[in-house]
Amino acid sequence: MQKITAEEIHQLAGYIRSISGISLNQSKAYLFETRLGPLLAREGLSSYGELYRKAKSGSDKRLENHIIDAISTNETLFFRDRGPFDLLQHKILPDLLSRRNANASKILSTPLRIWSAACSTGQEVYSIAIVLKELLGDLKNYKLKLLGTDISDAAIAQASRGCYSKFEIERGLPREKLVKYFTPQSCGWKVKDALRAMATFRRLNLMLPFAALGKFDIIFCRNVAIYFDPNDRKKLFERLADVLVPDGCLIIGSTESLTGVCNRFTPKRHLNSVYYQLKTPPAVPGQSKLTGNRPHRKSLPAIAK
Amino acid sequence: MTRLRILAVDDDPVTLALFSKRLKAPEYLLDTETDGNLAIERMKQRCYDVIITDLIMPGSIDGIAVLHAAKTIQPFAEVLLLTAHASVESAVEAMRQGAFDYLQKPINFDELFHLLDRISDLKRLHQDSVELRQAMDTTERRASETIGRLEIEISRMSDILEKIKSCLLHDDTSAEEKVAQMTVLLNACKDPPA
């Protein structure tokens, strides 16, 4: 494997951050070498510097995609970390549906929109689809929109095909679900049409505006912001807050935290998992204490329990 | 040493006898069946790493049916098909439906041993990755429990701080009343909810 120089890391890290938000530094030399080394060989390039110059020149748009495909981490599996899916099945979906059901006409007119914001090769999306099927049974009675996006073309292509090798499938997927929702094929296992039809996939760079996607009831954004630098991370969660409906839920990676990152969310705990909801906006916007418009109240707000 | 548990299915007892003779080495544990139905019954009772089945067998259960049953009952077992009539189409079809590989009769045992070695290597790698994954999951679970607890606790503290701030900025409250209210709030800091 060709060695990468400090200068080349500096150049490529800057370039990769500009196209994907992924923040890498000198400590990740092995990552550049193991992920981009094969690309050098495939493209017949003599050095990482040459790769940088060629990609940066924009003369070959494919190269940008190849770099993203190689550098983005596609570590994922079905039901990765059971917590969020148990949360979805036993808390978030029942709560949302009962709130929506309070206005029965609304459920028919307003679809429930779920977004897997960095879906990688699709396992998270199909895991969500399985939860929906298991919880709701006949989906004809519901309007559901399940969107999976990822920055990597290659990951989205695999997600869209819904084909997984034996190794990808074995990890995390119980046997009865495997047999129920997948068919064996030469590729390994392929998602059955009914499950595949529930999801839409598209390429999306989370660093670029995504408000056009509309509003979502549930957003999964797990283990992606960890690759961004703190500033980009803050911006990302601010923008996620913008596209979440007022009573919607955000699920982040189980070892991630929004403390000091975004104060528009409030954490909620159910069983052993944490999810986030938007803080209720103040009753009279603009009358914050800092502006001097202090509310004149005799009693103090109750202490949160 | 990981032993490969193998089920060989063939209506021809001579072929099965040959398997028994050649797969005697301690790294293999072999069961044999002469009938597809019996093979399926056996799969329900015992776990196999490899299922070797003849493609063409009399009765309702042929090699493809054994392959399908194996994929349902034991999705992680590898299936090797034996075919007497070296038809590329049937072999390709079997591969398409999830078979690991196929062998032509008469069986070239060197070729079979090579395939079994490959399966064995795959199983070992897989086992390693499962164990690493389990170790990682344990670490991740512990970390996430701590982070989740802190996340909730910090949010609770921030709420209390907000209330203390609003208490301090409250013009109409006397100094004594503020002290009393803040004492209540500060006491709440000490008692995290269960």
Look up tokens 């060695």; give the residue.
A3
- Residue B165 belongs to some domain of the structure: yes
Indicate if B97 and B30 belong to the same structural domain.
yes
- Which ipTM value was assigned to this complex? 0.73
Q: What's the pTM? A: 0.74
Per DSSP, the three-state class of A57 is: helix
Please indicate if any CB of chain B lies within 8 Å of the CB of A35.
no
Q: Is residue B124 part of a domain?
A: no
The answer to whether residues A276 and A267 touch, using CB atoms and an 8 Å cutoff, is yes
Residues 63-102 of A with CB under 8 A from B: 81, 83
Residues B71 and B158 in one domain: no
CATH of domain A82-278: 3.40.50.150
Check if the beta carbon of residue A120 is closer than 8 Å to that of residue A138.
no
Domain count, chain B: 2
Residue in A with minimal Cα distance to B166:
A289
- Return the HEC string of A241-289: HHCEEEEEEEEECCCCCCCCCCCCEEEEEECCEEEEEECCCCCCCCCCH
Could you read off the pLDDT tens digit of each residue along chain A, which spans 305 residues? 788 999 999 999 999 999 988 999 888 888 899 889 999 989 999 999 999 999 999 888 889 999 998 888 766 667 777 889 999 999 999 999 888 877 665 555 568 999 999 999 999 999 999 999 999 888 887 889 999 999 999 999 999 999 998 878 876 788 889 999 999 888 789 999 999 999 999 999 999 999 999 999 999 999 999 999 999 999 999 999 999 999 999 999 999 999 999 999 999 999 889 999 999 866 554 444 444 444 443 333 343 33
Pair (B100, B159) in one structural domain: no
Instruction: List chain A domain ranges.
Output: 6-71, 82-278
Q: How far is CA B121 from CA A8, A220, B3, B51, in A?
A: 37, 36, 11, 16
- The CATH number for B98's domain is 3.40.50.2300
Q: Which residue from A171, A272, A303 is facing B133, i.e. has the nearest CB?
A: A171
Q: In chain B, count H helices and then E strands.
A: 6, 5
Q: Which residues from A are below 8 Å from B159, CB to CB?
A: 304
Domain with B184, as residue range(s), is 141-190
B75 to A258: CB separation less than 8 angstroms, yes or no? no
Alpha helices in A72-192, H assignment, sequence order: 82-87, 93-101, 104-109, 123-136, 153-161, 166-170, 175-181
